[in-house]
Amino acid sequence: MLEVHAERIAAAATAPAFCRVTGVLAPEIAFEIALPERWNGRFYMIGNGGPAAESLEDPGRVAQRDSALQVGFAFAQTNTGHDGRKEPGYSFVMSNPQKALDYAYRAVNLTAVTAKALTRSYYGKAVARSYWNSCSNGGRQGLIEAQRYPQDFDGALVNSPWVDQTGFTIGALWNQRAVGTAGLTAAKMVLIGKAVMEKCDAADGLKDGLIDDPRQCKFDAKVDVPACAAGADGDACLTASQAEAVMKVYNGPVSNGKPFFPGFMFGSEAVVASVVGGATNVSGWMGIIVPAQPDRKPADFNLAEGIMQYMGHTPPQPQYDYRTFDFDHDIGMLAQWGRKADATATDLSRFRHKGGKLLMTYGWADTILQPLMALTTMSSRSPAMAPIPRIFSGFSWCPAWAIVAAASAPTASMP
């Protein structure tokens, strides 16, 4: 431990009085531990979104900490070893390659071990139960904890986990190649969403404005969306190339003539209240899969490009051009990084044998993390070794903390 500080925080409207411990683990893993005056004997830790590196004082993270303190949990969090304000995206590996390992798995494990040790020292007794709760990249972190460090937590809630970071990256490159210059406007995406709902709504036997299981639907944009006349284009139709681009997103990347990674589900393109970038009442794909403006990168691709440039090459290649990626020959480019960062292992026997409990959820309409990435991975499991994900209808990507904080905050009734 390179440094540690402690201070007493007075009670406030949002949290009871507590001892706040902050510090740094080598080389640059910042952490926070919050120890309430009235401790319930249990420990609660949250994860990180995307490339992590959030400030420990981020309002969303503070809200989660305060929720845990209100019901007596000792709480911990980490920035995984880098500061996004100083090193944006995945550029942190340029200053120290060790930070890649800290981000992939090491920082969470070290913080959990350190936090539980300090908690024991502070209260004079060991933690009775330890819980992990996070989504997206934080879900990936939770799965890796259960897979590689089963002693760290007794229970883990992993929402929309980024199970396969390398598969996602290749999928996002595929999608950008398909739709980046296809001319899919916001109006065209609304048109597609309406056509999908018309085709898929009753696939479950009930027409109720919900697509219960998109796998039951046989939608084809080339057939089910009005086609533009030859040489024409407009918001009320799709050109042949636009329909083909849309189906590439649904079907996912292909390598050497075979499916490589799942695409996004029918219904994920539906109109939502808001998306990344602040747009309202637009397709869930806008600004995330499909460029909202010609000069702006969609969020999925922006994330994937950073992984490709900084994690896919040794040494990193910040100027790497994704357009040179060959889906038939370059698929293995991320294999080395995948062994460090992917949570695709299906053997959870050590976690299960110690009595660990894991709950995994996805939303069918997720536009960042394909729900089938987990189903595909877990389909190869031994029934006794791995969880079965529960997938819900609806739009439920979690870019940071909001969904988990609102839907799954710690409660006094947790065992």
At 276-310, the pLDDT tens digits run 566 677 899 999 999 998 888 999 999 999 999 99
Of all residues in the chain, the percent with pLDDT exceeding 90 is 81
Q: How confident is the model at residue 395 (pLDDT cuts 50, 70, 90)?
A: very low
Residue 403 lies inside a defined structural domain of this protein:
yes
Instruction: Give residue 405's pLDDT.
Output: 38
Q: What is the mean pLDDT of residues 394-409?
A: 43
d(CA 134, CA 146): 13
Domain check: are 192 and 285 in the same one? yes
**Last residue of some domain: 293, 311, 338?**
338
Residues 147 and 175 in one domain: no
Q: Are residues 225 and 301 in the same domain?
A: yes
| 179 shares a domain with 105 | no
Amino acid in the structure at residue 253: P
Across the chain, mean pLDDT equals: 91
Whether the pLDDT of residue 169 is over 60: the answer is yes
Asked if residue 328 and residue 223 are part of one domain, the reply reads: yes
412 part of a folded domain: no
Exposure string (b/e) for 373-396, b if CB count within 10 Å is 16 or more? bbbbbbeeeeeeebbebebeeebb
107 and 209 share a domain?
no
- Would you state the pLDDT for residue 207? 92
Q: Is residue 312 part of a domain?
A: yes
How many domains, in total, are found in the chain?
2
Name the band, by pLDDT with cuts 50, 70 and 90, for residue 382.
Answer: low
Indicate whether 67 and 139 sit together in one domain.
yes
The confidence score (pLDDT) of residue 415 equals 64
- Decide which of 338, 355, 376 is a domain's last residue: 338
Residue 300 shares a structural domain with residue 184: yes
Q: Which domain holds residue 359?
A: 3-164+345-407
**Mean pLDDT over residues 187-209, rounded?**
94
d(CA 401, CA 133): 10
Is the residue at 387 inside a domain?
yes
pLDDT for residue 1: 78
Q: Using pLDDT thresholds of 50, 70 and 90, give the confidence band for residue 347.
A: confident
Rama region for 279: left / alpha / beta (φ>0; ψ in -120 to 50; rest): beta
Q: Which of 265, 294, 262, 295 is nearest to 170 (CA)?
A: 262
Q: Is residue 225 part of a domain?
A: yes
Q: What is the pTM of this model?
A: 0.92
pLDDT score, position 204: 87
Burial string for 94-132 (b: 16+ CB within 10 Å, else e) reads: eeeeebbebbbbbbbbbbbebbbebbeeeeeeebeebbb
Give a yes or no: residue 414 inside a domain.
no
Read off the pLDDT of each residue in 162-184 and give the average, rounded to a whole number.
97
Range in 35-49, 253-267, 384-398 with the lowest mean pLDDT: 384-398
- Within a domain: 327: yes
- 29, 119: one domain: yes
Reading the block at residue 233, the tokens are 């284009």
Provide the CATH number for the domain around residue 383: 3.40.50.1820
pLDDT of residue 401: 33
Do 354 and 272 sit in the same domain of this protein? Answer: no
Confidence band, pLDDT 50/70/90 cuts, at residue 153:
very high
Residue 402 has pLDDT above 70, yes or no: no
DSSP letter, residue 369:
S
The dihedral formed by the CA atoms of 235, 237, 242 and 244, expressed in degrees to the nearest 10: 160
Domain boundary among 284, 306, 338: 338
Is residue 54 located within the same domain as residue 199? no
Helix pair angle (240-251, 165-179), 10° resolution = 180
Going through 50-153 in order, the beta strands assigned E by DSSP cover 74-78, 129-135
Decide if 49 contacts 399 (C-beta within 8 A).
yes
308 is a domain residue? yes
Residue 2 has what pLDDT?
Answer: 85
Is 141 in the same domain as 212?
Answer: no
Q: What is the DSSP letter of 77?
A: E
